[in-house]
Structure formats: C-alpha cells, structure tokens
Structure 1
C-alpha cells in the first residue's frame, strides 16, 4: 500500500525525507513547518506536493536555474529512488501541477523564512568585516528581469518608456548587506517604477547600534540621514553634488566638522536674503564629519569623493580608514553580482509567469544566496581566512553536487550556526 506522498507508510512521509542537502542545516524542517503554520500555509490534508516540499523545491529552482521544472524535482527525489524507499508508482509531477503547488504556497512563506534566517553572521574574528568594532554594512539596489507576461508587465513595469521599452518587465530590489561576508540580510522588493530611495527608507528599521552603514550618493537625503542616524547605527554616505558643507572645525587627520541644513530651512533663508531681511535664520542642523579626497581614474582623470559620517572623533576612525571603509561598499556590489549573474546565470530571466510567483522566486533567490554565503563564512572562519578568498562559483558547484547526491536523505540536525540563533553581535 502506498500513500499519496508516493512513499510506503513504513518509510514515512516524503516531507520527512526530502531536503536540499547542506542548505537544510540552515533552513531546517522545524523552521519551515513553523513558518508555514504562522503564514497559514500548512495543509489540512496530505498532498502529492506538500507545502514543505514546495518550499525546498523553490529554493532548488534557485540553485539549478538552467534545469526544467521536472528535472529539478527529479534532482530532489532521485536519492530516495536509489535507496528503494520511493514508490515505483510515484511519478514526477507535471509543470502544471508544480505551478499550482507554487501558487498555493504563495510568496509569504519564502519572505518570512528569509527575514527570520538572514541576520549578520560575521564573528568578531571574521576578516574584512569590521572597522574598529563596527560591523561594515552597505545598502544598494538592483533590478531583475522577469518573464514578459501581461500580468508581470502590469505589476512591475519596465524601463525605457513607451518609445524604447526594455525587452522584459523588471522588479526592483534594495538590499542591506554585510560587506565582509557578502550576505544580504534584509531587502525590499517592488515594481521598477518605485525608486531605490523609497525602498531604502523601508530598510532603516534594520539598522542598529554597532553597524557602520555605507551608501552611495544616490541614497542621500536630509530626512533619510536623520531617520537612519536615529537608529544608533553609524553612517558613512557619499554626498551628491549640491548641498553645501561649511567648515565649522578642521580636524588633525584632514577631515572637518560641518552640519547638514534642512532643505526647507535653506529655501526659507534664501527667500529671507532675497527680501533683504536682517533676521536670517542662523545655520543649524545635524553635525557631521566630512572626508574629502580625490581618486585618479584609469583614464588619468581625477574624481572628487565627499563622504559624511556620524563618527565625529578621528581617534575612533581616521579619514584614511573611513575612505578605505567606503571602498568596502564594492563588496556588497559583488554580492549583488553573485546573485544576479553567477547564481542565476548571465542574461537569465526569472521563471515565474505571475507576479506572486515572481515575488516567491525572488525571496527564494535571496534566501538561497544567503544560505550559501553563510556556509562559506563558517568555512572561512574555521580556516581563519577572509571570506573573500573563497570562490562563490566553486562553492555553488559543490553545493549543487551535494544536493544532487544527498538531497533526499533525512537532513542532519541543524549545526551550531551563529545566525540561526539570531546572534547579531557575538
């Protein structure tokens, strides 16, 4: 006798066997079941494709972008076949059946899983992750091409305007990442029409004391700076051209103290001056420290960088150290490139034909990338190496092979990974 999961009763249910290899250490069965219960996606009856299996399956899709729906399912179940514990009467579901199972699951469980799992994972000894005890973090944005369907086009839009529209609709994301480990620990997702700055504002509640959050000039605004600084995190932003930064006090390392003027106050002062008023408001605003330096580009031209920070005391971080820390923002851009190009495949469009499944796929992509990078960080710490020394593509290939060979075995008990216990600052 065989139950509807495709397994003989003596062997247990499929959900007690299937996994995604070593990544199941991080996204373990108990956590998945807890999230399914919390999001109301736990089944009331046994299905051929239970919700837990679909969660692992969607993550597997993000490991094997080049494979078809059916082939990814075969990768997950062939281990059970080789053990003889899989019913010969069970057949890999059709693409249509898999799509229906994904639709039943929806995007919320994958989003909640990512939000619960993805926390900064650098230990105190992790190389390249700190500036004098401050955890180096960065924010940045990117877009992902999604399938060209009417529903996706309506939900996400596309760049280029009516005259020269992009070939595919695009989803926009802004992420908060840990520079030293390349892990993306928080993200906001919306349509292409929503600009990066609006999405970045939603990430502020993930800033916390002990972080040094780095951002490029496109993210600066007076209100965003004030809100971000109020979290207790330290900030290091590159300034756009335009805002005046008067020198209030020069400092020994070549930086200087200044202040940020609220644009509303600046406009009011300009009107007062224009009208000849003698009661012009005195300058005031949040105090910042300014670091200015020039970088010579490959073509020999010079580019001026103007950074502002909440770290006012040069003895806590010198101008040279902060300039070097700003360069660590490129490590986060590397993380985004890993996710967009290497893991997904260069030029590859996401699979999902509907907006909800696009969102589900993107959260699964973020979760899977985080799981890979967290394991790489653990390996680097054990070998006393900078995580940058490890190859993402080589690690991805190893994990793919391990999933192929061992995915269907019962996963081992979760390892003692620091981020699973939400230990943000060990």
Structure 2
C-alpha cells in the first residue's frame, strides 16, 4: 500500500511556532540573522515562550505582507498549512490578538530596525540594467508620511499636520528613505515625527551612503549644509535646486554645463561676488562659505510645455566623465524612489489605510516590518530580472507580492 505524502510527513519537534517561517522570504532573513539581531538588541527571552522573539520578527514582517488582515488572521495564515502536514497538534490554538500584542510589546521596534540595518543593502550587480552611471550606483533620497492610529500617545510622538480645526485627521509618521534606483530597494530609513523637517530626517541617512554612489535628490531637500554633509561621505551628488538658490557662475564647459559656486546662506551679494573673483584668480575659498559644483540646466518640453528650467548641481565636475545629457537622464531616475515608496503605501499597506498600532513603539515596529517585506520582495524580483537581462524596475511589484503571499499560505514554511 502506498501512503500519501500527508500521512507520511514527519512531525517537527518542539513548539509549533518554532517552525513558523515566511516561505520564500525565509532565506532572506534566516534564523541565524534573527538570532544575531536579537543578541545585539538584548531581546532574547530569558524563558521559553510560545511566541518567541524570532517568531515575532517573522510575524511582524508577515503583518506587512498581509496588512489588511487582523492580527490573529495573520498568524492563521502563517501556520494554517502546518495542520495539513500533521504538525498542528490538537491542543495548539492560534494566539489571541491580545497575546500577539503583548508579544509585540516584548519585542519592541529595536530588533526590526536592527534587522533592516543589517539586511537592507544595495542589490544591483555589475550586470543589472539601469543601475549605474560611469561606474556609480544610482541612489535617491526622499521622504513621505504614513497615517497612524489616532491615539493620544501617537499624537504626542508623531504629531498631526496643521493645528486646531485644520489639523490632519490622523497623526503622521514621517519616513526618510534612501533607495537604489534600479532595484527600488530601500536600503536606509529614518522614522520620525511629521513635525520634524524632511532635511533634518534625511541628515540621518548620511552614514548609509559612500564612495561609488551617485545620490539624487529633489529641490525640496537641498541646503548648503546638507549637500556638503552628503558630499563629505565620498559619494557623488546630483541634486536639483530651486530658483531661489543663488549660484555664482564661473565658466562654461564644452557640454553646455558650467562650473559655479553654491553659497552658505546669509552671504550678501558683495561677499558672493568676491568669492567668485577669488576662484577665477586661483585663490582658495573657505569651504564653510562656498563649494565648487557643476550645474546642468535643461527643460523637458514633452513633460512641461511651459518650459520650466530644471537646474541640477553635481559634484561630478568633469564633463568628459559624465556628460550633461547623461546626467540629466540619470537625474530622472530619482522618480524610481517615489515609485518604491508608492509600492509600500499602495500595494503593501493599501491606498488610504492606516497603520493601526496603538502605541508609538508598535507603530515604528510595524513600519520596519513593511520596509523589510518590501525589501525582500524587491530582492526576489531582482534575482528574477538579472539572469533574464530585464530591467528590474520594470518588474511588477504587485505580481511579486501576490507570488510571495501564495508561497506563505500554500507551501510548508517549516525550517530545520
């Protein structure tokens, strides 16, 4: 007599929740990595629990995958297939929403943040399409906000936009992010209050960039101080500036761009003019007053019939290394980060949905779970795109998300 696979499947030893995984995502965040971040953050339990810390890390990532589901339903989705394998013992019950919340509180946001910091690295290889310009990895920085549950604690921590009767309906978690343009992988993030300015949040991303990158940013993030801080990392920059930013023209370059100075705020016109004259005569200028940059100016008539002038300042001074046209085309890769953030806000979270965690620590924990879920899916899409020679930012995120959700619920997620 031939027995079925279900009848012959071995029953795993130990607690049921010790065997919970996330299917195709388990390899991205394996058990050893989880144990490492738990040790680093001091969240390892002193006694055995049904909902152990490493289980809850995976559970919080699953919350990102199944955002609209209730807490206990997310757990059912993770363990439901184990019943078919004969590994769900008769006396085991899905933990209540209250028990899950208590386990999340014990975990806190720190292990999720540490896991993201440890695991979220640039993904593009040397052969990845649209990932590079003159041997520089194209990266972008931007910021956005997420509505969170309207509780007194969340209002205190994150604030609301506006005040009085014009205040926003919900408190808002502000997220500044660094993304790899080609893969849409977010590889750096800072969480804060909506009362904190974007530039202040973005400043904390400085340690996530370095040599070999070309970092792109929109005009809303430009300041002399922030530009200098990112440039000091050794990364090259290409940031748009607004019409209100004064630049001191020095000389035209063969590709139509020009060398110029950008200034520390507060310098009067006479002082700026003297700095320009000093550079033209070969004198050194104080770096705390001005910086030498190259300016690329252009219009995009098919997108802007009014002919708005776009001005991008860059630390790449040699037009032979990166011609103006190539730099202008590369700058528009910045929109890929907006697409990446939209994938989180629309595809994972759901359009208009609210992060429903009631306390600030759990809000941040949930946000890190969303970021980790997004990163893992984007890594899978890159793994599929590179061998086929596809541009990874053309891979459908929503289709990848559906595949991962099916893997979690349809396959055995048992780890050794």
Q: Give the TM-score normalised by structure 2.
A: 0.91
Aligned pair 1:302/2:304, yes or no?
A: no
Is the contact between residue 103 and residue 357 of structure 1 (CA under 8 Å) also seen in structure 2?
yes
Where does structure 2 lack aligned partners over 5 or more consecutive residues?
1-9, 280-284
What is the rounded CA distance, in whole Å, between the counterparts of 1:99 and 1:340 in structure 2?
A: 23
Is the contact between residue 79 and residue 409 of structure 1 (CA under 8 Å) also seen in structure 2?
no
Equivalent residue number for residue 115 of structure 1: 117
Q: Say if 1:50 and 1:266 are closer, same or farther in 2 by CA, change over 3 A.
A: same
Equivalent residue number for residue 216 of structure 2: 214
- Structure 1 segments of 4+ aligned residues over 6 angstroms from their partners: 278-281
Equivalent residue number for residue 82 of structure 2: 80
What is the rounded CA distance, in whole Å, between the counterparts of 2:141 and 2:304 in structure 1?
A: 28
What is the rounded CA distance, in whole Å, between the counterparts of 1:372 and 1:194 in structure 2?
A: 30
1:322-401 equivalences under 5 Å are 322-401=327-406
Is the contact between residue 78 and residue 408 of structure 1 (CA under 8 Å) also seen in structure 2?
no
Is the contact between residue 250 and residue 276 of structure 2 (CA under 8 Å) also seen in structure 1?
no
Higher deviation after alignment, 96-105 or 257-266: 257-266
After TM superposition, give the deviation of residue 384 of structure 1 in Å. 1.4
Q: Say if 1:31 and 1:299 are closer, same or farther in 2 by CA, change over 3 A.
A: closer
Q: 2:294 aligns with which of 289, 294, 306?
A: 289
After TM superposition, give the deviation of residue 280 of structure 1 in Å. 12
Is the contact between residue 63 and residue 343 of structure 1 (CA under 8 Å) also seen in structure 2?
yes
1:141-156 equivalences under 5 Å are 141-156=143-158
What is the rounded CA distance, in whole Å, between the counterparts of 1:258 and 1:294 in structure 2?
A: 19
Task: Tell which has more relative contact order, 1 or 2 (C-alpha 8 A, sep 6+).
Answer: 1
Q: Partner of 2:174: helix, strand, or coil? A: strand
After TM superposition, give the deviation of residue 65 of structure 1 in Å. 1.1
Equivalent residue number for residue 257 of structure 1: 259
How many residues end up aligned between the 2 structures? 398
Q: Deviations over 1:402-422 (max 9, x none)?
A: 0001253227xxxxxxxxxxx
What is the rounded CA distance, in whole Å, between the counterparts of 1:48 and 1:349 in structure 2?
A: 29
Q: Say if 1:191 and 1:10 are closer, same or farther in 2 by CA, change over 3 A.
A: closer
Equivalent residue number for residue 415 of structure 1: none
What is the rounded CA distance, in whole Å, between the counterparts of 1:206 and 1:53 in structure 2?
A: 28
What is the rounded CA distance, in whole Å, between the counterparts of 1:264 and 1:243 in structure 2?
A: 12
Q: 2:40 aligns with which of 38, 42, 47?
A: 38
What is the rounded CA distance, in whole Å, between the counterparts of 2:188 and 2:269 in structure 1?
A: 36
Equivalent residue number for residue 230 of structure 1: 232
What is the rounded CA distance, in whole Å, between the counterparts of 1:360 and 1:282 in structure 2?
A: 52
After TM superposition, give the deviation of residue 49 of structure 1 in Å. 0.8
Q: Deviations over 1:30-74 (max 9, x none)?
A: 110111122111111111211111111111111011211111101
What is the rounded CA distance, in whole Å, between the counterparts of 1:205 and 1:44 in structure 2?
A: 34
Q: Say if 1:241 and 1:280 are closer, same or farther in 2 by CA, change over 3 A.
A: closer
1:7-156 equivalences under 5 Å are 11-156=13-158
Q: Partner of 2:362: helix, strand, or coil? A: helix
Q: Say if 1:280 and 1:63 are closer, same or farther in 2 by CA, change over 3 A.
A: closer
Equivalent residue number for residue 419 of structure 1: none
Q: Deviations over 1:253-281 (max 9, x none)?
A: 100111112224447838xx9xxxx9999
1:396-407 equivalences under 5 Å are 396-406=401-411
What is the rounded CA distance, in whole Å, between the counterparts of 1:281 and 1:300 in structure 2?
A: 37
1:160-171 equivalences under 5 Å are 160-171=162-173
Q: Deviations over 1:221-262 (max 9, x none)?
A: 111111111111000000122232232111111001111122
Is the contact between residue 269 and residue 281 of structure 1 (CA under 8 Å) also seen in structure 2?
no
Q: Give the TM-score normalised by structure 1.
A: 0.89
Q: Partner of 1:235: helix, strand, or coil? A: strand
What is the rounded CA distance, in whole Å, between the counterparts of 1:191 and 1:361 in structure 2?
A: 15
Question: What is the RMSD of the two structures over their aligned residues, measured on CA atoms?
Answer: 2.1
